[in-house]
C-alpha cells in the first residue's frame, strides 16, 4: 500500500493551506470573539470551488474525490474550526445526499444552486427529544395533493440562519418508527419555513447554529428525496459521510494546537533554556505527533473507503471517534504547555480547546460511535 497523495490532492492541500494562512487565520480570533459568520470567507471558498467541491462537474462542482474534501476541511480547521464546520456541513450533509439520492431533476436544479449560485446548505435531523434516537422525531410531513405540509421543529442546525437549502427529515407515518421517516429538500423561501432561536455556544462561535421551525410549510411533492419511508437510511448514510468531515475537522484542530504549542515551547525560556529542551515537554510532543499521524491515517482511510466501498460505516465511526478524542486531548495538552498564556484569548489555544469539545458530540456522540463500532465488529 502506497501512502501518497495524488497530484490533484496535493494541489488541493496547497491551495487550501495558503488560503487558510492568508485569509482564514488572520480573522479567526475576531470571528470567535464577535460570533460573526465569516461571510466573505465563505463567498471566497465558493469562488475557489471548495464549497461544493465534491459535486460532479456537470452540476457545477469541482468533481473532487472524498479524500480531497477531507483534506480541505482539515486545512481550514487548523486555523478556524468554525469555517471547517460550515464547509463540512455544506458539502457532506447537504450536497452529499442530493448527489447520492436525488433524481436527475433534483440534481440539475439544486446542485448548481449549491455551487455556482453560492447558496449555503444545511441538514435538519435533530429535535429537542430526538437526538441519538431519531425515531423519537415529531416533525411530520403530510401529503396534500401536489405538495407535502411539514409541521414541527429542528434544533442545533449548523448553518441554520444563513442557509438557503435544507435536507429535512420528517415523519410521513409515525406508526412505523424509523421506517416512517422521509427526507425532503426544503428551500428557506417556502411558505411556513421559519428560523427560530440562534444558539449561543461554548465554541464554534463563527458557525451559525439555530432552530428551524415548520408551520404548515409547503414543500412540493417533487422535493421528496429518495423514496417515502426511506429517510432514515438516507440520514444514517449521510451521517457516515459527515463523520469523515468531523474527523477531518478534529484532526485539523489537533494539528493547529500541536503547532501553536510547539512554536511556544521553542521560544519560551525557563530555568535558562527553552521548555522544548525539557524531556517532559518532548514526551508530550512525541505523544501528540503519534496521535496526529494515526488520526490522519484513519481519516484518509475512511475518505478512501467512502469513494471505493458500498459501506464505510465502520471506517467513518472509527475515524470520528479517534480524531474527536484526539482533538480534545491535544488541545488540552497544548494549552497546558503554554501555561497561563494558553488560558488567555491572546493565544488561540483556549479557542481550540472550546472548539474541540463539540467534535465528541455532534454527528453522533463518542458513545454512539462506540455502539456503531462494536456493532460492526461483533456482528
Helix H, strand E, coil C: the string for 69-111 is: HHHHHHHHHHHCHHHHHHHHHHHHHHHHHHHHHCCHHHHHHHH
For the entire predicted model, the pTM comes to 0.96
- How does residue 337 score in pLDDT terms, banded at 50, 70 and 90? very high
Mean predicted lDDT score pLDDT of the chain: 97
The dihedral built from the CA positions of residue 18, 122, 205 and 328, taken in this order, carries a sign that is: negative
What are the start-end ranges of the E strands in the chain?
121-124, 140-144, 147-158, 165-171, 181-187, 193-198, 209-220, 224-225, 269-270, 273-274
Is residue 109 pLDDT above 80, yes or no? yes
Instruction: Compute the average pLDDT of residues 178-199.
Output: 97
Which residues are CB-contacts of 156 (< 8 A; sequence separation ≥ 6)? 126, 199, 209, 362
Q: Is 210 helix (H, G, I), strand (E, B) or coil?
A: strand
The answer on pLDDT for 379 being more than 80 is yes
For residue 112, pLDDT beyond 80: yes
pLDDT-derived band at 304 (thresholds 50, 70, 90) equals very high
Query: Residue 2 pLDDT more than 80?
Result: no
Residue 359 has pLDDT above 80, yes or no: yes
Task: Flag whether pLDDT at 105 surpasses 70.
Answer: yes
pLDDT of residue 10: 97
Distance between alpha carbon 151 and the CA centroid of its chain, in Å? 26
Distance CA 71, CA 177 (A): 37
Residue 131 predicted with pLDDT over 90: no
CA distance 26 to 23: 6
> Which residue's entry shows cell 469555517?
83
Stretch 265-276: mean pLDDT: 97
pLDDT for the residue 1: 63
Active site residues: 363
> Does the pLDDT of residue 288 top 80, yes or no?
yes
Q: Once rounded to an integer, what is the mean pLDDT over residues 6-11?
A: 96
For residues 87-105, give the mean pLDDT. Answer: 98
Question: What integer pLDDT is reported at residue 134 of this predicted model?
Answer: 85
- Range scoring the smallest mean pLDDT among 130-139, 305-314, 349-358: 130-139
Residue 122 contacts residue 160 (beta carbons within 8 Å): yes
Q: Does residue 354 register a pLDDT over 70?
A: yes
pLDDT, residue 135, reads 84
Amino acid at each position: 500500500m502506497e501512502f501518497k497523495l495524488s497530484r490533484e490532492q496535493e494541489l488541493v492541500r496547497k491551495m487550501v493551506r495558503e488560503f487558510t494562512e492568508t485569509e482564514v487565520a488572520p480573522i479567526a480570533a475576531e470571528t470567535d470573539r464577535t460570533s460573526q459568520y465569516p461571510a466573505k470567507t465563505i463567498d471566497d471558498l465558493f469562488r475557489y470551488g471548495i464549497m461544493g467541491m465534491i459535486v460532479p462537474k456537470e452540476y457545477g462542482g469541482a468533481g473532487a474525490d472524498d479524500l480531497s474534501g477531507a483534506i480541505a476541511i482539515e486545512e481550514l480547521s487548523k486555523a478556524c474550526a468554525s469555517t471547517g464546520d460550515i464547509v463540512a456541513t455544506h458539502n457532506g450533509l447537504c450536497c452529499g445526499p442530493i448527489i447520492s439520492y436525488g433524481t436527475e431533476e433534483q440534481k440539475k436544479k439544486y446542485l448548481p444552486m449549491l455551487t455556482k449560485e453560492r447558496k449555503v446548505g444545511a441538514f435538519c435531523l435533530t429535535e429537542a427529544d430526538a437526538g441519538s434516537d431519531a425515531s423519537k422525531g415529531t416533525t411530520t410531513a403530510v401529503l396534500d395533493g401536489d405538495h407535502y405540509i411539514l409541521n414541527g421543529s429542528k434544533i442545533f442546525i449548523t448553518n441554520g440562519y444563513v442557509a438557503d437549502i435544507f435536507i429535512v427529515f420528517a415523519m410521513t407515518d409515525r406508526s412505523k418508527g424509523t421506517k416512517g421517516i422521509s427526507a425532503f429538500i426544503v428551500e428557506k423561501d417556502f411558505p411556513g419555513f421559519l428560523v427560530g432561536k440562534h444558539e449561543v455556544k461554548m465554541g464554534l462561535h463563527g458557525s451559525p447554529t439555530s432552530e428551524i421551525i415548520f408551520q404548515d410549510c409547503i414543500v412540493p411533492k417533487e422535493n421528496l428525496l429518495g423514496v417515502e419511508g426511506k429517510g432514515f437510511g438516507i440520514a444514517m448514510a449521510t451521517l457516515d459521510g459527515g463523520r469523515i468531515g468531523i474527523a477531518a475537522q478534529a484532526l485539523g484542530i489537533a494539528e493547529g494546537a500541536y503547532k501553536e504549542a510547539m512554536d511556544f515551547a521553542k521560544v519560551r525560556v525557563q530555568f535558562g533554556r527553552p521548555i522544548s529542551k525539557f524531556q517532559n515537554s518532548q514526551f508530550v510532543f512525541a505523544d501528540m505527533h503519534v496521535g496526529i499521524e494515526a488520526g490522519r491515517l484513519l481519516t484518509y482511510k475512511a475518505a478512501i473507503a467512502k469513494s471505493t466501498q458500498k459501506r464505510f460505516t465502520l471506517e467513518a465511526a472509527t475515524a470520528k471517534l479517534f480524531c474527536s478524542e484526539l482533538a480534545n486531548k491535544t488541545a488540552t495538552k497544548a494549552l497546558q504547555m503554554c501555561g497561563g498564556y494558553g488560558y488567555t484569548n491572546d493565544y488561540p489555544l483556549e479557542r481550540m480547546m472550546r472548539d474541540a469539545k463539540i467534535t465528541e458530540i455532534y454527528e453522533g456522540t463518542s458513545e454512539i460511535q462506540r455502539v456503531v463500532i462494536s456493532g460492526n465488529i461483533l456482528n
